[in-house]
Amino acid sequence: MPTVLNPYLGFRDNARDAMTFYQSVFGGDLVLSSFGDFQASQDPSEADKIMHGMLTTDTGMVLMGADTPNSMDYTPGNTISVSLSGDDDAELRGYWDKLSVDGGSVTVPLEQAPWGDTFGMCTDRFGVAWLVNIAGSQAAPAS
């Protein structure tokens, strides 16, 4: 089995909502395990929080996420983005539309980029930054 790299998103008390939302965007199978399922916390208020969530799409994308335990620091930040790239224009625009609406915001509009692709950046309603790049014809080299 090859080594794989998967984005793993941390949340505070809303991992279930976030991961369910991402399933509505990307489709696929979502498996959610709570702290209570594995008796992984002595804090009764954490029983229903998500200890591990994993979304696996039909196309092989994997997105993981979990609630941060109360005993751990949680400081949301802008130090990570999730990138979606490929050449399926309709699929990627569909993801963009779902991620950037309903509480989301557009950072960079999805439009033709200098390198010839269509590119945009947005932040979804859970504060996660997304980059979308739709492959296009290569931009002509500068002369």
Give 46-63 pLDDT, tens digit per residue: 999 999 999 999 999 999
Show Cβ contacts of residue 101 under 8 Å, excluding neighbours closer than 6 positions: none
pTM for the whole thing?
A: 0.84
Q: Do domains 8-67 and 81-134 have the same CATH topology?
A: yes
Q: 8-67: which CATH topology?
A: 2,3-Dihydroxybiphenyl 1,2-Dioxygenase; domain 1 (3.10.180)
The sheet that has 105-112: what strands, in order across it?
81-86, 129-134, 118-123, 105-112
**pLDDT tens, position by position, 77-123:** 766 889 999 999 999 999 999 999 989 999 999 999 989 999 999 99
Look at residue 137 in the predicted model and tell me its pLDDT: 57
- The residues facing 50 across adjacent strands are 34
- Choosing among 3.30.200.20, 1.10.1060.10, 3.40.50.300, 3.10.180.10, the CATH entry for 81-134 is 3.10.180.10
Predicted pLDDT at 75: 85
Predicted confidence band at 3 (pLDDT cuts at 50, 70, 90)? confident
A 10 A CB-CB count for 15 gives 24
Give the residue extent of every domain in the chain.
Answer: 8-67, 81-134
Of 27-31, 39-43, 79-83, give the range with the top mean pLDDT.
27-31
In the predicted structure, residue 140 carries a pLDDT above the cut 60: no
